[in-house]
Structure 1
Amino acid sequence: MKKTYDVIIIGSGGAGMIAAITARKQGKKVLLLEKLPTLGAKLKATGGGKCNLTNTLSSEDFMKSFGKNGRFMSTAINMLNKDDLREFFLSIGVQTDTKDGFRIFPVTHNSSTIIKALEAELNRLEVEILCDTKVERLLFDGESITGVQTQNEKFNSSNVIVATGGLGFPMLGANGDGYEFAKELGHKVTDLYPAMLPIYVKETWVANCTADTIAKAIIRVDLKKAKKLKAVGDLIFTSKGLRGPVILDFSREITPLLEQYEQVPLLINMVKGKNEDEVLQHIKKQTALNPDANVVEIVSTLLPTSVSKELCLIVGAILDKKFKDQSGQVRNDLVKIIVNTPFTVTESIGFKKAMITRGGVTLKEIDPNTMQSKLIKGLYFCGEVMDLDGPCGGYNLQWSFSSGNLAGHLL
């Protein structure tokens, strides 16, 4: 005899668990299916294991941060905004805080706190949970969902919520099965790219600067067709490339270009937006204040010493000589490279370390007021499986919770 449920949820990330909780609170008989042995595997890795739940932006500014598709989120965010989310977690025993005035974490700064609380709430509500259970396909009669087929059995339901996430961190269960479910039922899935990840660059000198962070770096793509692409934030050097919040955010723009051009040239202003004239005036002022200082010492009033040394070497400056004693060409080149430091992106780490997937089930085929498919009755989507991703800083997890909550209402 087949088991029948009011709703079946596939995937136990933030979106899937809150969808199950919401649906159960509506009095629905709920089945939550997870192919891994435990719940919330990718959620455990969120925010470096600290679980950046959301942030303090207003709902309007929050949605704007997602770009042109941000308005799609209106109903979901209005139903469960940042304050509602904090109140929900408090109701299940999780206190939150915001030490930097922007990002909101559980006070423990430990994602296990969130997973344990959600799992306890699922159990309290008597949601049926099956782990180690992989869904092979969705069942439908041509117009409506009728259930799911797992490896071993069929489960009946007139409502299925796909909360399978994206392609990032495949070792945590991400394999894109949600996209396949959608395509099999006639949905369009956009091109998929890894996002929110470090990048590799051709310039080997970055390996000598790994201890340094550049605050408020301004990154631009040095391609005619991508001149408008720009990001501002903290930059960190790695042994083979670049990372830090600004790179994690901007990587969603770089990875599609890498596929198109193989290499992507960047120009990075590491001096808080100063132009060439401002940098030259700063150098002259510092030289007057420190007449015996060599060129590296002078440039180090603008940038970390390790970076200053590398830029001086690139333009052929003689390190133990003063700035004014360098050739005119070297002085000009040094000012230029300080203002616009060139980098060449050669590759990204790819989906194996991508926190987010850019792309997904096209939003045109999903009702933003319910998260239900416009093509198949009873089919719902939430979280990262949809074509909507935001920057680093609690945006994507808030969206997962909000969209999962909306889907769980089965409006």
Structure 2
Amino acid sequence: MKESYDLVVIGAGAAGMIAAIVAARNSLDVIILEQQEKLGPKLKATGGGRCNLTNTLSNEDFMNSFGKNGKFMYEALRDFNYEDLISFLGNIGVETHIPDGFKVFPVTHNSSTIINALEQELINVGVEIAYLTKADDIIFEENLVKEILTSKGKIKTSKVVVATGGLGYPKLGANGDGYTFAKTSGHKVTSLHPAMIPLLTKDTWVAQCRADTIAKAQLRVDIKKYKNLKKTGDLIFTTKGIRGPVVLDFSREITPLLEKYKEVPILINMLKGMNEEELFSYIKKRTSENIDFNILQTLETLLPQSVIKELCLLVEADCELKFKDLKGEVRQNLVKILVNTPLTINGHLGFERAMITRGGISLKQIDPKTMQSKLVKGLYFCGEVVDLDGPCGGYNLQWSFASGNLAGKLLD
């Protein structure tokens, strides 16, 4: 490690690595500081190791998926959208494909393919990589970057890219340093919440259904003020709650509410949107064709038997009876709970299991055209450390690459 560099990048995730590559391709002397002993520890875990890189949404639809802050990404995506990412990776030897027409993966479906190619390109363009090196502090003078204090000594520099990620998966190196650097340089950091995370429920019956996956389940918050918060996707029951792609997406909305309310009631439609009238019609048709079917047999094409049994218990319906033999009120209650199954979310697994962080460095203090701080010249932020988080499906990784690419250009 030398005494000075044109650029110091803090963090060797997707955003940090591409920022370093872009800067070095422009003939700058660059070093990456990485606390871990290998590059991209969190990138390695992305998509269960299969590495869903991005998706084929238009820039407009992509930004809308991030909510009200999504428009901030306009310049970064215009300069580096999913097609540009595919091209970039192709140029460094990574072949990609789109097996479902939407999600983009390396053809190997192995995140190591991406990490190895990025590492080789870092070497090719002359980026120095300082492993097991922690950035302790960034020193500023009159709102200019002057130097960085590290666990291995001082580095003089006029430009720093902070690509430290969020708080999720601390065992992979997340520690919140980026937020500290931001705060000490006068930036605001919004409330931070774990996101893309399994949720815990007050209801214990879910434990009896843990072997079952419910396709296209519709989840919505049962609080009047937040009735528009809803998601659809595959749901999996666990011994203590719920998980699955729809829960990972939904958790982005739930964890802030849990901090406010402690418990969050939700309703789940596990019948692909079927309403009460449609369910009654379905049952009537099925029982007319199969007059000896009991409730389990009648509904088993809609839901796993374990789920049917638990919902029957909740409304005191004997699942061995025929539907027509239930008392009127019980019959009505069963249909209601099948169409809108109530659950109460009362916890989550914390940042230890969170794939991303909701919240981050305020976008109001970052120039979206450059990713440079509006407060400190030469200080850039990119990736998850800023206040942007998206759903599952390659959104967050695309943002990391796009923002890292823009930051690496070091535009003033």
- What is the TM-score when the length of structure 1 is the normalising length? 0.98
SS of structure 1 residue aligned to 2:268: strand
Query: Which portions of structure 1, spanning 4 or more consecutive aligned residues, are displaced by more than 2 angstroms?
Result: none
Deviation at 1:136, TM superposition (A): 0.6
1:33 is matched with: 33
- Taking the TM superposition and a 5 Å limit, the aligned residue runs for 1:17-56 are 17-56=17-56
Aligned residues: 411
SS of structure 2 residue aligned to 1:5: coil
Deviation at 1:225, TM superposition (A): 2.2
* 1:175-201 deviation digits (Å, cap 9, x = unpaired): 101000000000000000000011111
* 1:315-355 deviation digits (Å, cap 9, x = unpaired): 11112110000111110000000110011111101100100
2:167 is matched with: 167
SS of structure 2 residue aligned to 1:32: strand
CA distance in 2, matches of 1:142, 1:187: 15
- Larger deviation: 217-226 or 351-360? 217-226
CA distance in 1, matches of 2:147, 2:39: 21
2:198 is matched with: 198
Residue 119 of structure 2 is aligned to residue 119 of structure 1: yes
Residue 268 of structure 2 is aligned to residue 305 of structure 1: no
1:408 is matched with: 408
* 1:364-394 deviation digits (Å, cap 9, x = unpaired): 0000000000000000000000000000000
- Taking the TM superposition and a 5 Å limit, the aligned residue runs for 1:5-404 are 5-404=5-404
* 1:114-149 deviation digits (Å, cap 9, x = unpaired): 111100100111101101110111011021111211
Which amino acid is the alignment partner of residue 173 of structure 1?
G
CA distance in 1, matches of 2:22, 2:389: 23
CA distance in 2, matches of 1:63, 1:118: 26
CA distance in 1, matches of 2:109, 2:211: 24
Which amino acid is the alignment partner of residue 23 of structure 2?
A
SS of structure 1 residue aligned to 2:129: strand
SS of structure 1 residue aligned to 2:94: coil
CA distance in 2, matches of 1:148, 1:194: 29
Give the unaligned 5+ runs of structure 2.
none
Deviation at 1:58, TM superposition (A): 1.3
SS of structure 2 residue aligned to 1:373: coil
CA distance in 1, matches of 2:403, 2:182: 17
CA distance in 2, matches of 1:165, 1:2: 25
SS of structure 2 residue aligned to 1:4: coil
CA distance in 1, matches of 2:334, 2:164: 50
Which amino acid is the alignment partner of residue 172 of structure 1?
L
CA distance in 1, matches of 2:116, 2:256: 37
CA distance in 2, matches of 1:358, 1:241: 21
SS of structure 1 residue aligned to 2:279: helix
CA distance in 1, matches of 2:35, 2:321: 64
SS of structure 2 residue aligned to 1:234: strand
* 1:41-95 deviation digits (Å, cap 9, x = unpaired): 1111111111110011111111111111111101111111101101111111111
Which amino acid is the alignment partner of residue 72 of structure 2?
F
Q: Are 1:2 and 1:154, in contact at CA under 8 Å, matched by a contact in 2?
A: no
* 1:387-410 deviation digits (Å, cap 9, x = unpaired): 000000000000000000000000
- What is the TM-score when the length of structure 2 is the normalising length? 0.98
- Larger deviation: 290-299 or 362-371? 290-299
Deviation at 1:5, TM superposition (A): 1.2
Deviation at 1:156, TM superposition (A): 0.9
SS of structure 1 residue aligned to 2:352: helix
- Larger deviation: 220-229 or 23-32? 220-229
SS of structure 1 residue aligned to 2:334: helix
CA distance in 2, matches of 1:241, 1:100: 29
Percent identical: 63
Which amino acid is the alignment partner of residue 256 of structure 1?
P
Q: Are 1:2 and 1:156, in contact at CA under 8 Å, matched by a contact in 2?
A: no
CA distance in 1, matches of 2:261, 2:126: 52
SS of structure 2 residue aligned to 1:149: strand
Deviation at 1:152, TM superposition (A): 3.1
Give the unaligned 5+ runs of structure 1.
none
Which amino acid is the alignment partner of residue 119 of structure 2?
E
Which amino acid is the alignment partner of residue 324 of structure 1?
K
SS of structure 2 residue aligned to 1:352: coil
Change in Cα spacing, 1:182 to 1:241, as seen in structure 2 (3 Å) is same
Deviation at 1:224, TM superposition (A): 2.3
Which amino acid is the alignment partner of residue 164 of structure 2?
T
Which amino acid is the alignment partner of residue 105 of structure 2?
F
CA distance in 2, matches of 1:32, 1:347: 37
Deviation at 1:2, TM superposition (A): 6.8
CA distance in 1, matches of 2:211, 2:143: 58
- Larger deviation: 384-393 or 92-101? 92-101
- Larger deviation: 35-44 or 176-185? 35-44
